[in-house]
Every structure is written in C-alpha cells, then in structure tokens.
Amino acid sequence: MRKVEWTMEKIAEGFDKFNTENGHYPTATEIDMCSYLPSSRQIQRRFTGGLPELRKQLKLDCPTDFTKGEYSSMRAHTIGKRAHQLERIVYEYLIEHFGRPFVHREYFFMDDRRSRTDFFIYFQKGNFSVDVFFYI
C-alpha cells in the first residue's frame, strides 16, 4: 500500500469535495469517516494548532473550532433534544413491560452524584439498570 503525502493542497481539495457533497465543511468526526481525507489525528500532528489552525490557513467559510461557540451550543441542544426523545421512548417501553411503579428514572448507584444510569428497574427475577446511547 502506497503512503499518501498529505499536502495542504490535497487536504484543501478534500475539504472542498466534502463541502460540495455535504453542504458544510467536515468536523473531526466527519474527517475520520472520510476516505479521501487524512485522519483528524494526522492533521493535529502535522499542523501546529490542529484543525482550528488548518481551517484558518485554508480560509474556510465555517467556524474554525467546532468545539466552541455557536456551533457547539447548537450541537449540544440537538443532542440533548434527541437524548430526551430516545429516553422517552425507552421509558414508555419499560413501563409497558414492567409497570410504572417498577421503573425509576436517573438512578444514582453511587453517592458521587455522577455515577448513574438512565433507568433502574425493580424486577422479581433481579433488578437491573438501563442506559440509553445513540450511535450514528
């Protein structure tokens, strides 16, 4: 297998191609899923300042740092809304199968106020916890 030399021009072409195909420039996660771009880790190693600095150098019409500011707030809002919807679906499913008195939301299993599961179910054959995750 031939090793690709990732020049600024090749990366710029890849970013432009991604933008044409998707209507926006890629985030780090999208870069990692893209076959015609180096990994975000490679970019971080090659360019001082990582992806934010690379986006500045390429003069892209997008936020330079997707981990801060308006984009990050919008993403957090979207993720929170989706999480609430999915947890609602799982909650209704659990109630249907085990009954409302036996399904408890946000169960803290340690006193550190961080270690918790989304649901704890009291069940005659043994209690159990359920955590809800979303995977793209």
pLDDT of residue 136: 62
Helix or strand run (H / E) with residue 58 = helix 50-58
* Residue found by looking up tokens 């710029």 in the block: 12
Percent of the chain exceeding pLDDT 70 equals 95
Q: What is the pLDDT of residues 6-25, one digit of tens each?
A: 888 999 999 999 999 999 88
Q: What is the pLDDT of residues 34-92, one digit of tens each?
A: 999 999 898 888 888 888 888 888 888 877 777 777 776 777 788 889 889 999 999 99
CB 119 within 8 A of CB 90: yes
Residue 112 vs residue 89, higher pLDDT: 89
Mean pLDDT of 114-127: 91
Domains of the chain, residue spans: 8-58, 69-130
What 3-state DSSP class applies to 45? helix
pLDDT of residue 86: 93
Question: Among 48, 40, 1, 3, which residue's Cα sits nearest to residue 18?
Answer: 40
pLDDT bin (cut points 50, 70, 90) of residue 2 is: low
Mean pLDDT, the chain, whole residue set: 87
Contacting residues for 37 by C-beta, under 8 A, at least 6 apart: 11, 14, 15, 18, 26, 31
| Rounded Cα distance, 78 and 101, in Å | 31
